[in-house]
């Protein structure tokens, strides 16, 4: 494992939404605010971003940028600098410095800034792109129908060829959802779950959120995350877990 690899968590938006969207048993009027995360991996062979968060202009113009349906259900609650471009700049980087974008899936809060990464290989599961392209698909074409350098993958993928950053399918939330395992040292690794599991509570109690593509596939993916977590030195980073995020922010976003 190269000692130079670092992993940094960035806040790329915050969503205010009905708790029932996450927890089907919650009462309708209760709301919650959750972070949107993206992760920067610096590796000797390249710079990778796992997800790109919400589109930059979404807070100022939610209906125009995200569409009426999303804007009706979700309020953008992030600060002006909580987006991929500002967060990268804070790390001394511009989009052209990023060589790889690993896209967990094509929902607005995970690929909103993909369009800026014109020099990067955009790595996603082929099944996710095929689902987006299907006639009648609910995916917003402004998020995926872009002239980017897509690298469509089928199953597991070793990004840098040395086992340090592994992408693996975690379908269920969407058809082609993927998560990542980042080995930060020989005996420590982080599993970036994204929406394969929103929060610790979902994993603990096997809760499938209201919005999902396939329930049993989602349960299988959560079971895989659970078994990964049982292995020594492994930490699962959830897609939208406010309590976990507070700990990450407390450490300045530096996971390593």
Contact set with Zn ion (CB under 5 A) = 107, 109, 195
Shortest reach from residue 163's CB to Zn ion, in Å: 27
Shortest reach from residue 173's CB to Zn ion, in Å: 5
Closest residue (Cβ) to Zn ion?
A: 107
Q: Is 142 helix (H, G, I), strand (E, B) or coil?
A: helix
Shortest reach from residue 238's CB to Zn ion, in Å: 10
What does the block give as tokens for 146? 């872009």
Q: Is 33 helix (H, G, I), strand (E, B) or coil?
A: strand
- Cβ proximity to Zn ion, 105 vs 183, nearer residue: 105
| φ/ψ bin of 119: left (φ > 0), alpha (ψ from -120 to 50), beta (otherwise) | alpha
Q: What's the DSSP call for residue 208? A: P
Shortest reach from residue 36's CB to Zn ion, in Å: 7
Q: ∠120-114-134 over CA atoms, to 5°?
A: 110
- Cβ proximity to Zn ion, 14 vs 107, nearer residue: 107
Tabulate helix, strand, coil % of the chain (nearest 5): 30, 30, 40
- Cβ proximity to Zn ion, 194 vs 255, nearer residue: 194
Shortest reach from residue 198's CB to Zn ion, in Å: 7
Shortest reach from residue 177's CB to Zn ion, in Å: 8
- Cβ proximity to Zn ion, 5 vs 129, nearer residue: 129
Q: How far is CA 108 from CA 70, 144, 160, 199, 229, in A?
A: 9, 10, 27, 18, 27
- Cβ proximity to Zn ion, 5 vs 236, nearer residue: 236
- Cβ proximity to Zn ion, 5 vs 58, nearer residue: 58
Q: Residue 186 class from Cβ within 10 Å (0-12 exposed, 13-18 middle, 19+ buried)?
A: exposed
């Amino acid at each position: 494992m190269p000692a130079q690899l670092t992993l940094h968590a960035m806040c790329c938006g915050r969503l205010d939404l009905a708790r029932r969207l996450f927890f089907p048993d919650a009462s309708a009027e209760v709301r919650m605010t959750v972070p949107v995360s993206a992760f920067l991996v610096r590796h000797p062979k390249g710079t990778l971003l796992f997800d790109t968060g919400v589109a930059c202009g979404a807070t100022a113009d939610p209906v125009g940028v995200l569409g009426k349906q999303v804007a009706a259900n979700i309020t953008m609650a992030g600060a002006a600098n909580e987006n991929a471009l500002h967060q990268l700049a804070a790390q001394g980087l511009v989009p052209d410095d990023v060589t790889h974008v690993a896209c967990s899936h094509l929902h607005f809060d995970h690929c909103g800034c993909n369009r800026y990464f014109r020099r990067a290989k955009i790595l996603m599961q082929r099944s996710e792109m095929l689902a987006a392209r299907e006639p009648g698909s609910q995916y917003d074409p402004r998020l995926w129908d872009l002239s980017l350098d897509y690298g469509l993958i089928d199953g597991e993928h070793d990004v840098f060829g040395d086992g340090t950053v592994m992408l693996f399918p975690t379908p269920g939330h969407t058809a082609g959802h993927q998560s990542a395992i980042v080995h930060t040292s020989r005996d420590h690794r982080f599993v970036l779950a994204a929406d394969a599991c929103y929060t610790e509570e979902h994993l603990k109690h096997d809760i499938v959120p209201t919005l999902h593509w396939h329930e049993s596939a989602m349960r299988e993916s959560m079971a895989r995350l659970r078994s990964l977590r049982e292995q020594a030195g492994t930490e699962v980073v959830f897609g939208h877990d406010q309590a976990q995020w507070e700990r990450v922010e407390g450490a300045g976003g530096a996971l390593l």
